[in-house]
Amino acid sequence: MSPQLLVTGAFILDELIYPEKHKRDYIPGGSVLYSALGASLTGVSVGIVSIVGKDYPTDLLHKLEAKGIDLSGVSRVDQGGCRCTMEYAGDGRKINFASNGLSLQEATPRFNHFPKSWYRTHGIHIGPALYDWQIELIAEIRRNLDVCLSVDVCDQVPLDKRLHYVWMLQQADFVLPSEAEFLLLTGRPQIERLEEEMRLFIQHRLKSMIMKRAEKGVCAFSIEQNALAKEPALTGLQIHDVTGAGDAFCGAFHASWLVSQDLKYSMRCGMIAASFALEGEGCEGLLNATLQDFQSRFRQCYN
């Protein structure tokens, strides 16, 4: 039987360098890890479609399975996996991929990696790896499957490919850019009329755009409601590491939408999942959280 939500993207070993130069060497990461953990906190069944190298910690993969995440769609290769260095600074982060091991291109799965027994899934979330990989995968999914499709936006798109990339994003049901990624997609230096600009972006099959705005929270515009919805950032958190928070939001948002069809509720579930990501190093906060923890924090934050 197929999981309700499939999450696809790359498993990556991350070297994290923080502004004070504190460094963590190659901890398990990758958008697919954080999105799957965020989604699983909602109680929805989750499967991962990805490629993993032999140096990715086996004990972590076992922990994912123990949390009920199905790894039948994960292909394991007998070589070093994808590695990158993420250096955080006041103006964001810089990402550099290592030359040894799998390249990001080699670490991202194609449509033929999806188990045929999973073709009846309800939803698929595509992580933010490579723009051309996303374009190809969106086309294949729309050609072959009838699913609710969400895409987290890639922030490295050449100018001459931007219009085609935007058109392909508009074939999804949901796109989930950050504020900076939205500016990249629209070619604008700043957002002046948020609601109007989000409304103009939503065309073709696209139902909603959900924008992640860090400390400003989250906002969304949907065709059905024809209005801008906002959720403020949660307060009182002990923020330890921002890595993966946006990915966790995306996974939990999509999972919650599949069972509720409620935009505001799904945004709030995404915020709760992201809060667990923020409170631990790497994936520790999400990995240690349970469904009961998730529900308790939801009630505490949203009464």
Number of Cα atoms under 13 Å in the Cβ half of residue 171 = 17
Domain assignments of the chain as residue spans, ordered by start: 5-302
Mean per-residue pLDDT, 151-180: 94
Give the pTM. 0.93
Least confident of 86-90, 112-116, 223-227, 265-269: 86-90
What tokens does 125 get?
Answer: 């979330």
Residues 8-14 have a mean pLDDT of: 91
| Percentage of the chain modeled with pLDDT above 70 | 93
For the purposes of burial, counting CB atoms within 10 Å of the CB of 242, is it exposed (0-12), middle (13-18) or buried (19 or more)?
middle
Contacts 24+ apart (CB under 8 A), 20-24: 24/281, 24/282
Q: What is the mean pLDDT of residues 100-110?
A: 90
Backbone torsions φ then ψ of 25, nearest 5 degrees? -85, 115
Does pLDDT of 21 surpass 60? no
Query: Which of 9-23, 67-81, 228-242 shows the highest mean pLDDT?
Result: 67-81
Q: From CA 248, how far away is CA 262, in angstroms rounded?
A: 18
Q: Residue 172 CA to chain centroid, in angstroms? A: 14
The string of pLDDT tens digits covering residues 33-56 is 999 999 999 999 999 999 999 999
pLDDT tier at 170, thresholds 50, 70, 90: very high
The pLDDT value given to residue 268: 97
pLDDT band at residue 89 using 50, 70 and 90 as cut-offs = low
Residue 20 is predicted with a pLDDT of 65
Q: What is the pLDDT of residue 280?
A: 85
Name the band, by pLDDT with cuts 50, 70 and 90, for residue 155.
confident
Quote the percentage of the chain above a pLDDT of 90.
71
Q: Residue 18 above 70 pLDDT?
A: no
Predicted confidence at residue 26, as pLDDT, reads 74
Digit-coded pLDDT (tens) for 129-145: 899 999 999 999 999 99
Cα–Cα distance, 237 to 10 (Å, whole number): 28
Q: What homologous superfamily does CATH list for 5-302? A: Ribokinase (3.40.1190.20)
Evaluate if residue 214 carries a pLDDT over 90. no
Nearest of 148, 103, 101 to residue 122 by alpha carbon: 148
Looking at per-residue confidence, does 162 or 24 come out higher? 162
Neighbours of 54 (CB within 10 A): 12
- pLDDT-derived band at 235 (thresholds 50, 70, 90) equals confident
**Mean pLDDT across the stretch 215-240?**
90
Confidence of residue 93 (pLDDT cuts 50, 70, 90): low
pLDDT at 19: 67
Average confidence score pLDDT of the chain: 91
Residue whose C-alpha is closest to residue 301's, from 261, 273, 260: 273
Residue 194: predicted pLDDT: 84
